[in-house]
Amino acid sequence: MKLKNLFVITAAALAAAPALADINVGVIASMTGPAAALGAETRKAVSLFPATVGGEKVNFILLDDTTDPTAAVKNARKLISEDKVDAILGPNLISTATAMADVANAEKVPMISVAPLDVSGDKRGFVFRSEPSADLMVQRVVADMLANGVKTVGFIGFSDSWGEVLHKALTKAAEGKITIVASERYGRADPSVQAQALKVISAKPDAVFVGASGTPAAMPQITLRERGFKGRIYQSHGVTSKEFLRVGGKNVEGALIPVGPVLVAEQLPDSHPSKKSAVAFVQTLEAKYGADSRSTFAGASWDAWLLLQNAITGAQKAKIKAGTPEFRAALRDGIEKTSKLVGTNGVYTMGPNDHAGYDASAIVLIKVENNHWKLVK
């Protein structure tokens, strides 16, 4: 009788619990094309993602968008229609992320971008990001310029959406404080910026801000230094990979860059909220990929996973089965309810009106010193 009762209780418990199902997560990154250096960092982070969450297997499907918005959209549609993903992480660029966001919202699949795309107003929906906005980063740049007596600045940036975002951020942050005396643009794949650099130098700015990302961002600084510019040169947070240091060599020495804390994890004061998380991530990453293999892009990709993993755990507690519209909706709601999640690059608190949720106090300024990253403040 006792065995029979035990069987009935066990059977009832099993019936009440949802059957375990694989969780499918799509990852889209620029692994080829002009932004390949960024996609390589996302791939590193993905290799560290766990195989299971709460006893359920997680399958990661990594696709290359070739640094092309059309390919990014095609990949997103494939992940949703063929691979039946529960969420998408990535991509690396605003242009590809903006194109993908419409698909994610239309199909009601949560997406966490590692590019700082606009997630305001009706663009929010199912779309989030783990990367701080350009406005926050450039504000940190302008604060340092003011502290060091910079009164005029020149701009050399990409002739695409990222370059435009950074130019607008600089214009906004510098208004009434610093005069922009020259603005020049170039393509990611351009072989030279000689003409642009000479025009900027002729304007005699106190400093230059390079509005670019990846290895192509090294070219303006190399050219400026070779042409004799002695002023301060600032780069965006889009350059923080080992490849940028390799390509730039001695000419990127002294570059000043606003970043999330993961890049200088060990140099952070113990009071920094992300120090413990950032150090642990860096140690794991470098154990696999070698010394100095860290980057803010790998950190942002890891933080995107932390945001999603937290939401997955919440959906599992609510006993919602993976692979269903209800699960995807639960993930979206769970990400939006994120509160004080400590990542490698900062602390995240999302909300109905904030799908970025990044605490600006985590941003630090670094410089390139002896081909390494050095904390300034």
Dump pLDDT digits (tens) for 141-193: 999 999 999 999 999 999 998 999 999 999 999 999 999 999 999 999 999 99
Distance CA 217, CA 248 (A): 9
Dump pLDDT digits (tens) for 47-64: 999 999 999 999 999 999
Which is it for strands 232-235 and 207-211: parallel, antiparallel or unpaired? parallel
Residue carrying structure tokens 């009706």: 122
Dump pLDDT digits (tens) for 275-316: 999 999 999 999 999 998 998 899 999 999 999 999 999 999
Which is it for strands 207-211 and 152-158: parallel, antiparallel or unpaired? parallel
Q: Where are the beta strands (DSSP E) in the chain?
A: 23-29, 52-53, 56-64, 87-89, 111-113, 127-129, 152-158, 179-186, 207-211, 232-235, 256-259, 341-342, 347-348, 364-369, 372-375
Residue carrying structure tokens 């507690």: 317
Inform me whether the pLDDT recorded for 242 exceeds 80. yes
Dump pLDDT digits (tens) for 199-227: 999 999 999 999 999 899 999 999 999 99
Q: Are 24 and 57 in contact (CB under 8 A)?
A: no
Q: How does residue 122 score in pLDDT terms, banded at 50, 70 and 90?
A: confident
Q: 159 Cβ partners below 8 Å, 6+ apart?
A: 185, 186, 187
Token pair for residue 72?
A: 């990014």
- Report CA-CA distances (Å) from 117 to 135, 140, 144, 279: 11, 19, 25, 27
User: φ and ψ at 352, to 5 degrees?
Assistant: -55, -30
Coil, helix or strand at residue 137 = helix
Distance CA 208, CA 213 (A): 15
User: Any idea what DSSP says for residue 189?
Assistant: T
Average model confidence (pLDDT) across the chain: 93
Q: Are 285 and 48 in contact (CB under 8 A)?
A: yes
Distance CA 171, CA 190 (A): 25
User: φ and ψ at 155, to 5 degrees?
Assistant: -125, 130
- Supply the pLDDT for residue 20: 65
Question: How much is the pTM?
Answer: 0.84
- Supply the pLDDT for residue 172: 97
Inform me whether the pLDDT recorded for 18 exceeds 70. no
CA dihedral 95, 97, 98, 100 (to 10 degrees): 120
Sign, Cα dihedral of 256, 259, 264, 268: positive
User: φ and ψ at 274, to 5 degrees?
Assistant: -95, 0
Which is it for strands 23-29 and 52-53: parallel, antiparallel or unpaired? unpaired
Inform me whether the pLDDT recorded for 339 exceeds 50. yes
Q: In what order do the strands lie in the sheet with 127-129?
A: 52-53, 56-64, 23-29, 87-89, 111-113, 127-129
Q: How many residues does the chain have?
A: 377
CB neighbourhood size of 32 (10 A): 15
Name the maximum alpha-carbon separation found in the chain. Answer: 94
Inform me whether the pLDDT recorded for 352 exceeds 50. yes
**Which domains are seen in the chain, by residue range?**
2-132+296-359 (3.40.50.2300), 134-259 (3.40.50.2300)
